[in-house]
Every structure is written in structure tokens, then in C-alpha cells.
Structure 1
Amino acid sequence: MKSFPAALAAISLLAFAPSSWAMNAPARVCAACVKANIERLAGDALHGRRCGSDDEHAAAALLVAQLKQYGIKGAFDRGGFLQPVRLSSPRFASPPTLELSSGAQALRLTLGDEMVARELPATLDAPLTRRSAGASIGEVAGKVVIYEPAASGPPPGAILKAGAAAVIVPASEVAQRRWAEMLQRAAGSTDVIGGPMHEAPTGGATIVLRPAEFARLAGFDEGHAKLSAVRGEPIARLTYNVVGVIHGQSRDADRRAILLSAHYDHLGVLDGVIFHGADDDASGTAAVLEFARILGSGRKPKRTVYFGLFGCEEEGELGAEYFQAHPPEPTADFAANLEFEMIGVDDPHNPGALMLTGWERSDLGPALKAHGALIEPDPYPEQHFFQRSDNYQLALSGVVAQTVTAWPLTPTYHSASDDLAHVDLAFMDRVIGSLVGPIQWLVNSDFQPQWNPGGRP
């Protein structure tokens, strides 16, 4: 783990001294409430809460009912809890095909059981070549490259950066496990109607073959590749952000607001199997609901507190992206955002504690830890988890926004085994409980979290 930045080491913990409010005993976690909320979200009835599905919409309705039960008000006009987010998802007019030829050999592959792909152009007609992992990339501009990565060689992305039109690689073990999920997204990224404008992706396509199909290319070298991946009419879908609020007592409560958030969608049903998403992210959603229950049952905090439960995170932080563009109050008025994701499985490499992504980027983590939160720096900085959850959308707008998580590399990640049986409820209750006092302090303090120099994305 990284040590605190030198600047933080010089800060006296007196700056984080508990106020008289925070010194009162924090409320206790309702273990039965946490369990019940996870069971409702990750049970069979909601079929994995796939982005834009009726099951995801049913989950949103469940969350609204729960927030109302906890005495939380809706954050939008006329007390509404739901923020509709319209989506446009690309699709193929027919399954894309890839025709390869080299000398007397020819092979025709179809998107589905044989291959998956990302960033396919509508058509491609290009030379075919092969590069080995141990050799120089060489001249690949405008070509389709057959490439088998190795630990000692450059990654496939390096070939695309060198100008290749496409790179063909064998599926890794992870890719084989997530084949159905990758197929769902093969046509391209979903657009958020009314969200921030994004630049169109540039660069070549990555084409992934099942190992058996890749083995059929053993005799292919120089030759020709022809791709057809024509798009049809995009699919219109709808997701919802569920957002509640407690308006604080201070005169400037709304201008120093705290956002506690999680995403409630998951992968749905893949190949006939429910991907329940108990850890990812029914666990984080249950934590936010528990904070809502606790804060809603006590006296009003000094600051305004929002409880944001976002849709369609699994397809690219889509709900959070729209929220960032259309918040219930200007994002400049948010003092901080804490996102809770995958807090249901204890990390054997960092047992008994949570981690805060981007720990070194701000002073928020040390402040919460000083008040008793069981959180530590991120031990996996090479994974860039700070950029891989809903918090990043708010961070891009300047809000000190970070994610609290437990074990982001759990074997249950995006697998059918991410179910209730694999969630450690006792661990969840303990770490949520450790955050109750620090969060009560935060929403009743004058502490204004700040980015460390160079920390803002």
C-alpha cells in the first residue's frame, strides 16, 4: 500500500477532530435491513436487473418504495425520485462476418459462438498479415493482424496504436468466461440522449476468437481479410436514476451537499443463467439504503445529503453520466461523492477493511479513516479502479468523488456465482457500521474535501 503523500503527513489530525455531534454514539446498523435489501435486489425475481430492462425498472420502483419508507424525499421536481435516462444502443443488421484467405486456405467466421469484437467498422477490405509476440510489430498500418499475445510481447493495443485496421487474438480465460457479456456489447457503446458529447472512438478493431477457431489460423500468414458489420436501426431503451434527498439545516446546506451513491443494475440473464449481481452491486446499494435509513431517522444533518442509485453502470456508467449533466443542483455545490461498490466480499489480501479508490488524490479518505472508518488506500493502483465506477463521472466535473469497495478482484466478478450465497453479510455489517460515525460527522461538519495537487482528473 502507498503511504500518505508528504503534504498529508504534515496535516495535523486536529483538522479532523470530532465535533460534539460526531462524538455521540453513532446509530447501529440494522443487519436485518441490509440482508433484506440485498435479497430483494439479488433474488431470482429481478433476473439480474439488466440495463434498460423491465427487471431494472422493477428494481427502481423497489428502491423508491424503500427510500420513502425511510422518510427520504424525492430529489427532483415535485418530489420525484426517478430521473428518466433515454438510451440509444447500436445493433447489427445481421451477424457480422469475417472472411480470411491466405494462399489456398480460406476461413469464414461469424459473430457469435466463433468470435466477438469491439469497434468493428461497417466494412473492411484489407491485407492480412501475422505478427509473433517476440518479434517487432513492423509495418502493420492499414492491415488486419493475426496476433497471439505473450507475457513478454507487446499487448494487442500496441498493434492498433501502430495503425493496424484490426487485430485478431485468441480469447483469454477471462474472455471465455465473459463471452455472452461481450457479445451483448459488440455493436458498440450506448449513447445517452441528452448526456455529454463524446468523441467518436478512433483506432482499429479487436476481434477475439475462441481458441479452437484461432488454432485454425495456424497456417495463415500473408493474405486478405474482408469484414462486413453493417448496423441496423439503433435500439431505444430507458433506464432510471433513483435519487432521494435530505435537505440540511444550515443556511448553506445545499451548497455543501454530500452524495452517497451506488449502482443498482447488473448483467441480467446470459445464456439462460441469471447473473444476480449480489456483490456487484446489490451490496453497495444496500449500504446506501442503510445510510438513508439511519440519516432519515435522526435529526436533520447540517448539510444536504443526496442518495443516488444509478442505472446502467454496467454498460458504461450511463445513468451517472446523465446525472452529471442534469443534477438536481449544480455539481459545483457538491462537496463530495462517495460511491459504494462491491463491498460484500472480504479481500484476503487486505482483510477486514475496505479501500478507497484514488486514495492519494484527495484528503477525503484520511479524514474518514481518522474518524474510525475501516478504509485503506487502494492496493491495486495498476487496475485504475478510480476511473471504473460511477464516481468518475462526478470527478470529471470537479467533485471530490471516490469509490468505497472491498475486493474488486473477487472471483465472483461478472460471473453467475455472484449470488447471495457468496456475500459475507457479517463483514458487510461490520464495515458499513464503521462508516456510520464518519459519515454522520461528514454531513454535520464544516470539512470541505479537497483534491490534492495533481489529483483532480
Structure 2
Amino acid sequence: MRPTVARTAAVFLGLSLFVTAIVAQEGRVDAITGARLRAHLEFVAHDLLEGRDTPSRGLDIAANYIATQLKLWGLEPAGDAGTYFQKIVLERPALDPNGSTLTYDGKTSAYGDGFVSTTSGGSGEGGLVFVGHGYSIPELGIDPYAKVEVRGKILIVLQGMPPGVAFRDIATRKYPNALRPAEAAEKYGAIGIVQLPTESNAQNWENLKAQTLRQSGVRMRGSSARPMPTLTLAPALADSLLQGEKSPYSELIKVTEPAVEPEPFALTETKRISFRVAVNANEMTTQNVVAICRGSDPRLSAEYVAIGAHYDHVGMSSTGDGDRIFNGADDDGSGTVAVLEMAHAFAVGPKPKRSILFVWHAGEERGLWGSRYFVDNPTVPIESIVAQLNIDMIGRSKRPGDENPRNARLTDANSIYIVGSYKLSKDLGDICKQTNERLYNLNFDYHYDAPNDPENIYGRSDHYNYALKGIPIAFFFDGVHEDYHRPTDHADKIDYAKVEKVTRTIYATAFTIATSPTRPRLDGKPGGG
């Protein structure tokens, strides 16, 4: 039976009212499609961009691609001087051996004779204090700085890690209050660090000297911590320095069973060292990409919901055969294009009351550089950011029957980890949960919110720097998988249907926060600890 004209009109009217209601509540979720996401990602993760290292030509190409899309869609530039780019100054330091010296007991050693050094330049003169491996880890009762005064002194440290502690534990912030030797030196007022040589150093001193002169690396200029001069003594000088002290050099470098962290002690007051490490630094730059979709409310448009991802990856391998380009399609090409398509959806859809701030961070893989720089140098008032939604790897799915142990924590096609949404604000956690239930009802996995998570996923992406400023955050993550940080992280392995659903869910969450009459209340400690 054919419907009547009246009935047809009623159906269309009902459908129109339903769509209008959905748009009013969720915004233009339909503008985000797997096809559009794929089109962006096939460029962002292309070999042409050479793995998007920070800094690199490939990363600059990605930044310009993002900015071009934003300009086409009419998004407001929110970088420096009316551009989409927030410039970050970096430097590549190189040792100057001719200008570097160390003096002890009236004798001055040239570089490579009595010492070698990292590229953290500086000079100083002072007394000496031995502090074990130099780490402070209160969670494990390791805190040599509680037992000796180091202000104005030079620290003597053993190389390596304290017994029972892995470098990964520190790198992943398993112990949130832990301080590396350079961080502890800065905090407690020491002026330099002198490392005791290992037995391997002693046997291969000339090789070590050559390696230090070939050091290459990049660091962010103007970071909160000043570079801490860190020298390694030649074995003969280390032996002379510790003669007559509580523990001689030969005993300190022995491996004991069971291994224990040695007790700290101050050296004889008359023993002093003066040093100068000369470093020449070549300046270079990278950039965050920043844009705004201005809100509709005259008052609330001065507040922002921040959405972010890191658009860098780890670049290229300098050695090896075969594929040497780390394309980073999932990490974090998936987040990069998700934020890009959310920007497009906000540009073409209804405008919420609050403004939306989009930030593509550089240097996440180098140590959360871009987000750290942004929160320390925000292009909008930092207190006006009501929440930050971070997207870092949302593109991979575990297939049924996959028993690969490297995919053990990978989420399936209808699941995603959400990390930290309740740590600083119950309001934000509830909004994330309720929005998801209204839309696709994905399986939100809170596994990484465990307070003693050994991987410390919460502290390993850009949202963490926003959380340290007291901004409620939510981090969306698919889980580590077999192609993580490998040249095989390619765009053809992405589950675009999943990326579409997750991106739409995050977009709707941001839209909900931006239309709420009140901002999410902060009821947790800054940082979320």
C-alpha cells in the first residue's frame, strides 16, 4: 500500500525534528566519516613525510597540511602573530673540547684526558658529595638528599640505576615523585654532576671519548630546568679523588649481592673541583599548530574546550635494510586526523556556547615537548581552558582469535581505553560516560586508571601537562600493539570504522562540555595524583 501524501509529510517532518534534536545535542557528528579520516591519514602517514620526527622537514610538511585545511574551513588562527603556528625554539648542542677543562688538586686536565662530558654545558667550582646513583625515589625509600647537604656542591654519582629499579620505571613515571640525578641536582641546589667511570668505561676510555665528541641530539630551549653539567671522570682521577674517603672508588663500582644502594657521604672539605664544559648550540625551530572555533555565547565564548593530539612520530632509522621509515599511522596519525576532522565538523556545524581550542602538539615523542611548551606559553588564558580531550592512538583493533602477546592489551573494534577522565573532575568523567552511552555505547575501558599502573599510561601523553595545570582531562587510547614504534605502523592497518565512531564520540563529548551552562568542577589534585 502506498503511503498518503499526508503520511509521507508526517514521516519527513518527524525525521527532520529527530535530526534537529540530534544536531542540537551532539552537533554535526555525521560530518565525520571514515572516508574523510582515511584520506587525511594516507597523506599524514605517507613515506613522503619521513616519519615526522621533531624537528624535521616531514613534520613541517604535516604542519602546513593541517594549517591549509584549517584555513580552507575558516578556523581562526591561534598561534603566533596571526598564524596557525606556535614556534618552539630548539637547539642542537655540540661539545667544544678545546674550551672544556677540569681542575683538581692543582692539576688541570684537558678534555678526554681526565674527563668526558655530556652536551649540558656550564662551569662551576665546589666541594664534593657522593649520593649513590643520584636518584631520589621516595616511594622506595631512596632519598640520599635527606641525609647530606648538596647545595653549592658537585655531586659524585654511580652510573646506572639503583638496585631493583629499571630505567623503564622512571621513563614511564611508575614512581611519580622520582627525580633523576639532574632533576635532583637542580631541586637541591647542586652545581654539577660527576659520574664515576664503570669498569667498561675504564677498558674502553678512548672509544668513550670519541663517542662523546660525536654526540648529537636536540633539546627544547627555555625549558623549566636548566641543563645540568654532567661529567664522567677518567679512572685514575676517580681513584685519586676518593682515596682516604669513606668508600674508595674500587669498592663503589663493585657489584654486590644482594645489591644495595650505598650510603651518601660528603668528601673531605679540602677536596674541590672546578670545571668548564664549553658547548656550541645550533638553533632550530619546530611548531605546534593551534586554531579556534569561536563559541556563540557572548560570555562563555571566552572559555575553551581544548582538543589535542601529537602530530609528530619518531622519524627514520639511520641503519638497517628494508623499510626504515616509521610512518606512525596509529601513533599518532590517527589522533592527528581525528582532531582535524573534529575541527571540520565544528566549522560546518552549529557553534556551541564555548569556544573550541584545537592544538596539534609537536615533540610528544621527545618528552611531551609541545604540550609542555603550550601550557607554559598558552595562546589563550590557561585558566579559561575548562577541559582537555587528548587523542593518542585510536586506530587499531584486536581481531577475534588474535593470540599475539604484543596485542594482548589492544582493544577490539567496539572498545577504547579512556584514561584520567575521573582523576580531576567527576563532572568530566560523567559527561564522557553519558555522551558515549547516548551515541555508540562503546566499551569504555578504565584499566589504566589503576593507581599503581606499572606502565603509567596516564603520565605518557600530552594531556598530562594540562592536568599538571589543574585542567580536567580525558585521554583516548587503543592500546599498545605489534606495530607500536615500528616501521610497520601503516595506514592500511587502521580500522577506519572504529576511528569514525571514537572520533564522533569525542566530538560529541566536546560539544556537550561546550554547551553546558557550567564548566566541569575540579575535585581532584592538579596532575591527578
Structure 1 length-normalised TM: 0.69
2:437 equivalent to 1:366: no
Q: Is the 8 A contact 1:19 1:441 kept in 2?
A: no
Residues 349-360 of structure 1: matches in 2 within 5 Å?
A: 349=409, 350-351=411-412, 352-360=414-422
In the other structure, the counterpart of 1:342 is 393
Corresponding residue to 2:219 among 190, 199, 202: 190
Deviation for aligned residue 1:384: 2.0
> CA offset at residue 355 of structure 1?
2.0
Instruction: Give the match's secondary structure for 1:404.
Output: strand
Question: Sequence identity of aligned pairs in percent?
Answer: 26
**Partner amino acid for 2:47?**
D
Distance 1:429 1:66 in 2: 19
Contact 1:241 1:309 in 2 (8 A): yes
Match of 2:382 in 1: 331
Deviation at 1:290?
1.1
The amino acid of 1:269's aligned partner reads M
Which whole-Å CA distance do the structure 2 matches of 1:118 and 1:358 have between them?
36
**3-state SS in 1 of match to 2:454:** helix
Q: Offset at 1:334?
A: 0.7
Equivalences for residues 92-131 of structure 1 within 5 A: 92=95
Alpha-carbon displacement from aligned partner over 1:132-172 (angstroms, at most 9, x marks no partner): xxxxx9x9x946468897xxx454679x88999469699xx
Determine whether 1:311 maps to 2:340.
no
Q: Give the residue type in structure 2 aligned to 1:359.
A: S
Report the residue type matching 2:418 in the other structure.
L
Aligned residue runs from structure 1 range 123-202, under 5 A: 142=156, 144=158, 153-155=164-166, 165=195, 190-193=219-222, 197-198=224-225, 200=227
CA displacement 1:158-207 (0-9 Å, x = unmatched): 9x88999469699xxxxxxxxxxxx9x976771334x5x225569999xx
In structure 2, the partner of 1:29 is: 32
Amino acid at match of 1:405: F
Which whole-Å deviations, capped at 9, do the CAs of 1:16-56 have from their partners, x for residues lacking one?
A: xx999216784252211100111111101110111121221
Q: Which residue of 2 aligns with 1:110?
A: none
Letter in 1 for 2:471: V
Distance 1:41 1:266, change over 3 A: same
Query: Compared with structure 1, are the counterparts of its residues 294 and 24 closer, same or farther at alpha carbon in structure 2 (3 Å cutoff)?
Result: closer
Structure 1 counterpart of 2:326, which letter? F
Aligned equivalent of 2:298, options 229, 251, 256: 251
SS at structure 1 position matched to 2:352: coil
CA distance, structure 2, for counterparts of residue 421 and residue 169 of structure 1: 48
- Could you say which residue in structure 2 is the equivalent of 1:3? none
Q: Distance in 2 between matches of 1:345 and 1:168?
A: 43
* 2:325 equivalent to 1:274: yes
Would the aligned equivalents of 1:264 and 1:281 in 2 still touch at CA under 8 Å?
A: yes
Q: 2:510 aligns with which of 433, 439, 448?
A: 439
Q: 8 Å contact 2:54–2:363 — kept in the other structure? A: yes
Say if 1:229 and 1:314 are closer, same or farther in 2 by CA, change over 3 A: farther
Structure 1 residues 428 and 19, CA gap change in structure 2 (3 angstroms): closer
Structure-2 separation of matches of 1:455 and 1:372 = 26
Report deviation, 1:259: 0.8
What is the SS of the residue equivalent to 1:309? strand
Maintained 8 Å contact 2:467/2:473: yes
CA contact (8 A) 2:330 2:490 kept: yes
Aligned residues: 375
Counterpart Cα distance in 1 of 2:488 and 2:63: 23
State the distance in 1 between where 2:349 and 2:199 align: 56
Q: Which residue of 2 aligns with 1:416?
A: 487
Larger Rg: 2
Q: Deviations over 1:45-71 (max 9, x none)?
A: 110111121221111111101112233
DSSP-derived class of the 1:451 partner: coil
* CA-to-aligned-CA distance 1:346-390 (integer Å, 9 cap, x gap): 365443222222234122233111111633324363322222212
Matching of residues 225-244 of structure 1 within 5 Å: 232-244=279-291
Change (3 A) 1:202 1:341: farther
Paired position in structure 1 for 2:54: 51
Q: Are 1:287 and 2:316 matched, yes or no?
A: no
Q: Tell me which of 414, 421, 429 is aligned to 2:500.
A: 429
Tell me by how many angstroms 1:393 deviates.
2.0
1:425-450 per-residue CA deviation (whole Å, 9 max, x = no partner) reads 23212222333333322222224223
Deviation at 1:92, TM superposition (A): 4.4
Aligned to 1:406: 478
Residue 62 in 1 paired to residue 113 in 2? no
Distance, in Å, in 2 between the alignment partners of 1:251 and 1:425 is 37
Name the CA shift for 1:51/1:69 in 2 (closer, same or farther; >3 Å): same
AA partner of residue 377 (structure 1): Y
User: Structure 2 regions of 5+ residues with no counterpart?
Assistant: 1-20, 98-117, 124-128, 133-141, 145-154, 171-177, 185-192, 201-211, 233-249, 255-274, 399-407
| Preserved CA contact (<8 Å) 1:392 1:402 | no
SS of residue in 1 equivalent to 2:388: strand
Q: What is the alpha-carbon distance in structure 1 between the residues aligned to residue 51 and residue 475 of structure 2? A: 22
> Root-mean-square deviation (CA), in Å?
4.3
Q: Deviations over 1:381-428 (max 9, x none)?
A: 332222221222222222223322111x22322222222233222321
- Residues 212-266 of structure 1 show CA distances to partners (whole Å, capped at 9, x for unaligned) of xxxxxxxxx86989xx996641231201111111111112234321111111111
* Contact kept? 1:358, 1:378, Cα under 8 Å: no
Secondary structure of the corresponding residue to residue 280 of structure 1: helix
Match of 2:85 among 79, 82, 85: 82
Instruction: Confirm or deny: 8 A CA contact 1:371 1:437 kept in the other structure.
Output: yes
**Are residues 1:265 and 2:265 paired?**
no
What is the distance in 2 between the residues matched to 1:388 and 1:342? 12
CA 1:143 to 1:86, structure 2 compared with 1: closer, same or farther past 3 Å? closer
- 1:180 is aligned to none
Whole-angstrom distance in 1 between the partners of 2:55 and 2:377: 19
Does the C-alpha gap of structure 1 residues 78 and 235 become closer, same or farther in structure 2, counting only changes over 3 Å? closer
Secondary structure, counterpart of 1:241 in structure 2: strand
